[in-house]
Amino acid sequence: MANERVLVIDDGKDIRDLLVESILLPSGFQVLLARDGADGLQKALNEKPDFIIVDMQLPRLSGLELIRGLAERGQEIPSILITAHGSEQLAVDAFRAGACDYVIKPFEAEEILAAIERTIRTVHARRDKQELVERLHEVTHQLGDRLREFNTVIGIGKSVASLLDLEQLLNRVVEAGVYLTNAEEGILLMLDKESHELYVRAAKNLDSELAKTVRLKVHDSLAGRVIHTGEPLLVGEKGWQKIKTAYLVQSLLYVPLRVKGRTFGVLGVDNRKKSTPFTIRDQELLAALADYAAIAIENAQLFARTEVERSKLEAILRQTEDLVIVVDPNGEILLVNQAAQAAFQIPDQATGASLASALEHPELLELFEQPDERGSTRRAEIPLADGRVFNAHVTPIPGVGRAAVMQDITHLKELDRIKSEFVSVVSHDLRSPLTAILGYVELLPRAGPVNEMQAQFIQRVQRSVQNITSLIEDLLDLGRIEAGFDQSMQPYHISTLIRDVVEGLRPAAEAKNQTIKLSMAPHLAPNRGNPLRLRQLIHNLIDNAIKYTPTGGEVVVEASREQEQIVLRVSDTGIGIAPADQPYVFDKFYRSEAVVDSHVGTGFGLSLVASVVERHQGRIWVKSIAGNGATFTVVLPVLLPPEKPEQPAGRPRQGPANARSPAQIGGL
């Protein structure tokens, strides 16, 4: 107990002296005195003592009335009531009125001291509580301020984050920085990576000449220091600061603009006239704003770059002569370029409409509808009503849908037609002289005796002429097939054709000590087709398998039926085909480099095979690992009997990427 101020209100000298002289002053209290109730109340209200000792019986206002009077005025001053007539009722009334303690006269010094001690404890407890409440108020107030400031930062942050126009965004950021820190000027500096200098990208209230011309070296400026350290910089109490030569400020605050640990600029505020320095709070606010701003700037820059790319792409798509159509996974149009719009007469504003409703071209629609197999690209030739022919590729694009790109191949088709016509005419014209050569060569032995060597030469001439003749036959056949002159369709059994061909080629296989294995599903249904051409197809495939398989190898011929299709597979254990050659083996006259010198051939057999497959609305593809054999697979749809329309009963099975479909085979 010490130094508390106590108001003693008593009209009796004895008690007063006892309290004051013997108890309170020696204990270190500061004592105030009053001799009647009204005076005591007034003193209590004016002086606000730490506690009161008051007698019950007083002139003008009793002790109890005084305590009540204080309570009524909202003054909670702890008080001890002294009374000569202790009663239970009085005690209850005293405590109700707000008294802390109650002492009955006459009392011992210890008694009143104990009461004072209890009261002091109450005084301390109340004071602590009061302090706590005040502190709480203060902290709540500060927190409220903080919250308001950060809400402002968040609000500003959000509003700048939604801006995609870089200029507008940068200006807004600087304005917000000035507003938040109550600064005179604001500046946003960006780093020029090449010159390693900082230049003003946006400013508020800054001298416009300075804004235009300022370039600050990173190694030699305050802003550069922020770029270098990636830390904020707050200066102001050390006198004038230099932003650049001859541009002085009283105080300034710089914070870094950082994204993913990379500082690309500085956001700064300064005061030229005001001498009040910026505070740590200002720094926190500006740094929070800079965090938002940095992301927003990065986004806006990204958006600007994307926009440039997008408009470039749009221009390319618009200008290109290729036709481009893109649909989403539901078949709704995402993009149609002008060329495609004109070619297919797709109405304006077709974006969003279903392709099926906007496009009247069954072949192209079918190409879009075909199921994706392993995300592969589908190709087809698309003829237009105006006579042009397009080579269309439909490619699945993950996350987007499908895109069709179509190139005009009309001129190539025409060239191909002329070339085929030419080949056909030349072949035709060559046939008669060759027949004559062969005839005369055969007559040679009859014209007189020939020696052994001459006989050998005659034989070689005969073989060569026969080879040329068979090539010419093939050329003429292909010409006929491609021109559609060879359409006689009749029932056939694939198993019969296979057996015939295998029997015919067995001697050739045996000569190379090879085995031919036949694996045919029982009861293969008859199909409709051109047996002559199909025999040629099977012959060419097995002949190649024998030819390109070394001595002692194996050739397997399989035939089966899968749903509405007949599947023919010819595999061998031969030299195989390199991946680079695989896409071209069905082209006319194509021979892989690996066989040109080692195996006799014309490079024509597989193109004939491909044409026959096309005529039968089938598909063919090859799978091979160089050095490890090759497998050719042909899928032929089971065609309906002649009385029904000649349409395939089922869509031909899709093959892998190098598979030839009817539309692809035939020329190009």
Can you give the binding site for ligand ADP, defined by CB under 6 A?
540, 544-545, 548, 572, 574-577, 585, 590-592, 595, 601-607, 630
Minimum gap (Å) between residue 410 Cβ and ligand ADP: 27
Minimum gap (Å) between residue 576 Cβ and ligand ADP: 6
Q: For ligand ADP, give the closer residue by CB, 201 or 588.
A: 588
534 within 8 A of 580, measured Cβ to Cβ:
no
Quickly tell me which residue has 């050719």 as its tokens: 632
441 within 8 A of 458, measured Cβ to Cβ:
yes
Give the CA count within 13 Å in the CB-facing half-sphere of 595. 24
- Measured between alpha carbons, how far is 476 from 485 in angstroms, rounded to an integer? 11
In the DSSP assignment, the letter for residue 92 is H
SS3 content of the chain, % helix, strand, coil (to 5): 45, 25, 30
Q: Give the number of other Cβ atoms within 10 Å of residue 518's Cβ.
A: 13
Tokens of 635: 């899928």
Minimum gap (Å) between residue 627 Cβ and ligand ADP: 10
Using DSSP bridges, classify how beta strands 215-217 and 51-55 pair: parallel, antiparallel or unpaired: unpaired
Using DSSP bridges, classify how beta strands 241-244 and 554-562 pair: parallel, antiparallel or unpaired: unpaired
Q: For ligand ADP, give the closer residue by CB, 401 or 574.
A: 574
Minimum gap (Å) between residue 607 Cβ and ligand ADP: 6
- Measured between alpha carbons, how far is 431 from 473 in angstroms, rounded to an integer? 9
Minimum gap (Å) between residue 500 Cβ and ligand ADP: 20
Q: For ligand ADP, give the closer residue by CB, 274 or 591.
A: 591
- Measured between alpha carbons, how far is 208 from 462 in angstroms, rounded to an integer? 97
Q: What is the dihedral of CA 305, 311, 317, 319, to 10 degrees?
A: -130
Q: For ligand ADP, give the closer residue by CB, 527 or 611.
A: 611
Q: For ligand ADP, give the closer residue by CB, 64 or 585.
A: 585
Q: For ligand ADP, give the closer residue by CB, 567 or 577.
A: 577
Q: For ligand ADP, give the closer residue by CB, 488 or 519.
A: 519
Q: For ligand ADP, give the closer residue by CB, 83 or 624.
A: 624
Minimum gap (Å) between residue 635 Cβ and ligand ADP: 18
Beta bridge partners of 30: 5
Minimum gap (Å) between residue 518 Cβ and ligand ADP: 17
3-state per-residue secondary structure call for 224-255: HHHHHHCCCEEECCCCCEEEECCEEECEEEEE
63 within 8 A of 83, measured Cβ to Cβ:
yes
Q: For ligand ADP, give the closer residue by CB, 585 or 620.
A: 585
Minimum gap (Å) between residue 553 Cβ and ligand ADP: 10
Minimum gap (Å) between residue 547 Cβ and ligand ADP: 6
Ordered alpha helix ranges (H), 345-493: 355-358, 362-369, 410-447, 452-483
Q: For ligand ADP, give the closer residue by CB, 251 or 611.
A: 611
Minimum gap (Å) between residue 378 Cβ and ligand ADP: 24
Minimum gap (Å) between residue 445 Cβ and ligand ADP: 31
Q: For ligand ADP, give the closer residue by CB, 450 or 578.
A: 578
438 within 8 A of 462, measured Cβ to Cβ:
yes
- Measured between alpha carbons, how far is 251 from 277 in angstroms, rounded to an integer? 6
Closest-CA residue to 608 (of 546, 548, 538, 503): 538
Q: For ligand ADP, give the closer residue by CB, 31 or 606.
A: 606
Minimum gap (Å) between residue 515 Cβ and ligand ADP: 15
Task: Indicate the angle between helix axes 37-47 and 63-72, nearest 10 degrees.
Answer: 30
Minimum gap (Å) between residue 473 Cβ and ligand ADP: 14
Q: For ligand ADP, give the closer residue by CB, 67 or 609.
A: 609
Closest-CA residue to 23 (of 120, 100, 117, 112): 112
Listed in sequence order, the residues at least 6 apart from 83 whose beta carbon sits closer than 8 Å to its beta carbon are 55, 56, 57, 63, 90, 102, 103, 104, 105
Tokens of 13: 């000298």
Q: Give the number of other Cβ atoms within 10 Å of residue 110's Cβ.
A: 9
Residue nearest to ligand ADP (CB): 601
- Residue 546 vs residues 110, 342, 565: alpha-carbon distances, Å: 129, 52, 26
Q: For ligand ADP, give the closer residue by CB, 159 or 602.
A: 602
Order of strands across the sheet with 51-55? 30-34, 5-9, 51-55, 79-83, 101-104
- Measured between alpha carbons, how far is 67 from 75 in angstroms, rounded to an integer? 9
Minimum gap (Å) between residue 629 Cβ and ligand ADP: 7
- Measured between alpha carbons, how far is 538 from 224 in angstroms, rounded to an integer? 79
Listed in sequence order, the residues at least 6 apart from 528 whose beta carbon sits closer than 8 Å to its beta carbon are 489, 490, 491, 492, 639, 640, 641, 642
Minimum gap (Å) between residue 474 Cβ and ligand ADP: 9
What's the full length of the chain, in residues? 668
Q: For ligand ADP, give the closer residue by CB, 477 or 572.
A: 572
Beta bridge partners of 623: 631
293 within 8 A of 187, measured Cβ to Cβ:
no
Q: For ligand ADP, give the closer residue by CB, 265 or 574.
A: 574
Minimum gap (Å) between residue 534 Cβ and ligand ADP: 16
Tokens of 352: 């969003």
Beta bridge partners of 630: 624
